[in-house]
Amino acid sequence: MDNIQQRETLGLFLRFTSICQVRCGVLSSKDDVLTKENHQCLGNSYTLSIEKCTNHLIDSFRKVQDAYK
């Protein structure tokens, strides 16, 4: 990947991060069960939600990276 592709990939990664955190309830004060289920963020534990979000966005990031190969 060249520098432009790396910057684009990083931008997508950051977008995935914020979207996932919002949808998993990490950045939201309300308990949105439906959204959490949609993003495989199970459990009421704040730490568990962050961990699930992190795993989810890492998987998403890898898919983006694979698309650039």
Which residue range(s) make up the domain with 31? 3-68
Q: Number of folded domains in the chain?
A: 1
Query: In the prediction, which pLDDT does 20 show?
Result: 57
According to DSSP, residue 13 is labeled: H
pLDDT digits (tens, 9 = 90+) for 1-52: 567 766 676 676 666 666 655 555 544 444 444 444 444 444 444 555 666 6
What pTM was estimated for this model as a whole? 0.34
Going by pLDDT thresholds of 50, 70 and 90, the confidence category of residue 63 is confident
CA 63/CA 49 separation, integer angstroms: 21
**In a 10 Å sphere around its CB, with 0-12 CB exposed, 13-18 middle and 19+ buried, how is residue 31 labelled?**
exposed
For residue 62, give Cα distances in angstroms to 6, 29, 31, 57.
Answer: 13, 29, 28, 8
